[in-house]
Structure 1
Amino acid sequence: MASAPQPQHLEPPERLVRTVSAWEGEAGRAWLAGLPERVADLLARWELRPERVLSPGGQISMVVLVRQADDTPATLKVGLVTDETRHEHAALARWDGRGAVRLLRAEPDAGALLLERLHSDVSLRSLPEQKAMLEACATLQRLWVPPGEGHPFVSVAEHTARLAAALRERRGQPYVPDEARALVDEALAVRDELCATAPGEAVLLHGDYHHGNVLAADRVPWLAIDPKPVAGEPAYDLAWLVRDRLETLVATPGSQSAARRRVAKLSDSLDVDRDRVRGWALFRAVEAGVWALAVGDRESGELHLEFATWL
């Protein structure tokens, strides 16, 4: 009689350990300690055969390339459940493979998703910037669908209200330079105005859309991954495309003009109001910059705040 298969013990990648420990503290370390056991349990119950753990992988999730019982390739993602990631499965189910990776199975409370296999080492960052932006826009348009009746997605106004509250609290902290506080005030005022004047009906937004979150696929050329879904206006989703490849943009002569041209080109190509794209890019860059300063990532924080001044 054949013996039962032994549980697969896979260790989380170094980057996952580092980021979750830094961002979540003791709670994050406790989650990491139980992660190998949770992954082993999912592999056994879902009848998956692991091939390898992706490294560096996600910042708050462990990603394992697997084979299903019928030998079909798939990807197992087990992530930290947060307010931003809680409804990732619902967004993927709503898109049902249209513009985004297809969801095969999920246990949302455990942060566990079984996804179709994409080419994890080939993102839009592998393309020249102009071509990558064209492909990014084409893919993003397919994601902007009605969120559905009775949907679980938080609105942009509600989500950014939480971000704005945290930003106000951090504004006076020693890690925020004095010269940046006026920029924080501007970002908060812009956010309030954008929410007060939000146009039209809400659509389902990716929430974290940038070149690194669009991977090469087999059934279509490119598919989005890793949404942090919210419901709201399309301009919000363009904010991260405006600041994509930021390190390269900073090193380019005329960075400020280049950033403003991005706002214009992306707005025009997707028929979205330029001022609203600029406003959300400003707010999101300032919020991300101050958050980075708060967790000790001074280089990223200063970079995002500098970018915000260009807008």
Structure 2
Amino acid sequence: MAFEPPQRLVRALGETQRDGGADWLGRLPELIRQAVGLRELTVERVQAPGGRSSLVLLVRQADGTPAVLKLVPPWARPGSERAALGRWEGFGAVRLLDVDAPDTSDAGEGVLLLERLHPEMSVRSLPEAKALLEAAGTLRRLWVEPPAAHSFETVAARTGRQAEAMRRSAETDPEAAPLVEAALAAREQLLAAPPEERLLHGTFRQSKILAGERMPWLAVGPDPVVGECAFDLARLVRDRVEDLIAAPSGAAITRRRVKRLAESLDLDQERLRGWTLFRAVESGVRARRVGRPGDAELLLEFATWL
């Protein structure tokens, strides 16, 4: 199958995976051919701009039902995404259509057949106050008890890997070092006495909530993790960060947002503030490390408000 991968995906893989990303992109036409043939699908088009770590195709099943075929590279933990979507069973999240279907293609578990939503309409298209309200309501549905013998990564493990990378970055980036130190201290304090754990989306934000047919809004693209709910909500706090930075009262708006989101979901405000700080600093130093100084500047300035 001849196709042109979205530039957003190409850039993201170049930043984070380099040779591995190029190899996976080169294999995509054959992986698509196998996955489409196995499921008897008809490809309509590639979804653009698409995601940063997967290729999304709009397809139709043999009976004409519209669907989405998602191809995920192995380093993006497709098995965890499949397991989480199976656990949610379409409640608050996109429905997995091939829950039990074996995949004998080279892509293996990295192929997911999903219900078709409306990719052109995300919660981000709503006015800010309405968007946050709808996003919080969607997120609440996803916070379920993890399976007893789950293999999902934990918040402690994921942030532990991130903390090591942050320390290395701080050694060569003295400007960011004070924020890194504050973020790492917040993490240690938060992990010392964590509340009840739930299955979390892991990378939740407004653009990851799309309009659906059976429910108004459904989450897509999880990178699931098990831990406290405040960790999941923290990424939502900084949504539309460019607008916050541009606003004269951005710092005050951010603090009010932390308070309102925490209260709306019955979470501890200080724990939400702490995880928001950690996740903003982690994203900021990572953006600087991979050559996105503009994004890094926004995120690190946002972090100073916390």
Residue in structure 1 matching 2:237, options 242, 249, 252 = 242
| Cα distance per residue 1:106-129 (max 9 Å; x no partner) | 658441110000000100011000
* Aligned residue type for 1:193: Q
Q: How far apart are the structure 2 equivalents of 1:294 and 1:249?
A: 23
Of the candidates 175, 179, 183, which is equivalent to residue 175 of structure 2?
179
- Per the TM alignment, residue 41 of structure 1 is displaced from its structure 2 partner at its CA by 1.2
- Is this contact kept in 1: 2:176–2:285, CA < 8 A? no
Contact 1:10 1:40 in 2 (8 A): no
Q: Does 1:90 align with 2:86?
A: no
Match of 1:191 among 187, 201, 209: 187
Residues 9 and 37, structure 1, Cα contact 8 Å, conserved in 2: no
Q: Per-residue displacement from partner, 1:66-97 (whole Å, max 9, x unpaired)? A: 00001100000102222555400100000000
Kept after mapping to 2: 8 A contact 1:22/1:295: yes
8 Å contact kept, 1:153–1:231: yes
Partner of 1:215: 210
Residues 285, 255 of structure 1: CA spacing in aligned structure 2 closer, same or farther, 3 A cutoff? same
1:11-35 deviations in Å (ceiling 9; x for gaps): 3112211221222111111111101
How many angstroms does 1:183 deviate by? 0.8
Deviation at 1:99, TM superposition (A): 0.1
In the other structure, the counterpart of 1:153 is 152
Please say if residues 45 and 59 of structure 2, whose CA atoms lie closer than 8 Å, have aligned partners that are also in contact. Answer: yes
CA offsets, 1:37-90, max 9 Å, x none? Answer: 101111111110011111111111110000000110000010222255540010
Can you give the 5+ residue segments of structure 2 that lack an aligned partner in the other structure? none
CA contact (8 A) 2:187 2:275 kept: yes
Alpha-carbon distance in 1 for matches of 2:54, 2:128: 27
TM-score, structure 1 normalization: 0.94
CA deviations over 1:169-207 (Å, ceiling 9, x no partner): 11112xx2x23211100100110110111013x110001
Cα pair 1:187 1:283 within 8 Å, conserved: yes
Task: Give the corresponding residue for 2:294.
Answer: 299
What's 1:260 paired with? Answer: 255
Q: Is 1:278 paired with 2:277?
A: no
Q: Distance in 2 between matches of 1:254 and 1:182?
A: 24
Paired residue total = 300
Answer yes or no: is the 8 Å Cα contact 2:73–2:110 preserved in 1. Answer: yes
Query: Residue 252 of structure 1: CA displacement?
Result: 1.1
Question: In structure 2, how many angstroms separate the alpha carbons of the residues matched to 1:130 and 1:15?
Answer: 28
Greater mean alpha carbon deviation, residues 37-46 or residues 220-229: 37-46
Shift of 1:10: 2.9
Kindly indicate whether the alpha-carbon contact (under 8 Å) linking 2:123 and 2:207 is maintained by their aligned counterparts in 1: yes
Structure-2 separation of matches of 1:45 and 1:10: 19
SS in structure 2 of the partner of residue 249 of structure 1? helix
* Corresponding position of 1:4: none
Percent identity, please.
52
SS in 2 for 1:204: strand
Q: Which amino acid aligns with 2:3?
A: L
The reply on whether 1:73 has 2:61 as its aligned counterpart is no
User: Are the equivalent residues in 1 in contact too, given 2:53–2:76 (CA < 8 A)?
Assistant: no
Rounded to whole Å, the distance in 1 between the matches of 2:251 and 2:207 is 23
TM-score normalised by length of structure 2: 0.95
Displacement of 1:296 in angstroms is: 0.4
The answer for unaligned runs of 5 or more in structure 1 is 1-7
Q: Secondary structure at the match of 1:87?
A: helix
- Residue 3 of structure 1 is matched in structure 2 by none
Instruction: Report the counterpart of residue 63 of structure 1 in structure 2.
Output: 56
2:119–2:210 contact (8 Å) kept in structure 1: yes
- Name the CA distance, whole Å, in 2 between partners of 1:84 and 1:303: 28
Q: Name the CA distance, whole Å, in 1 between partners of 2:131 and 2:41.
A: 34
Letter of the 1:14 partner, please give it.
Q
Q: Within 5 Å, give how 1:38-57 maps onto structure 2.
A: 38-57=31-50
**Contact kept in structure 2, 1:125 and 1:132, CA below 8 Å:** yes
The structure-2 alpha-carbon separation of the partners of 1:170 and 1:109, relative to structure 1 and needing over 3 Å to count, comes to farther
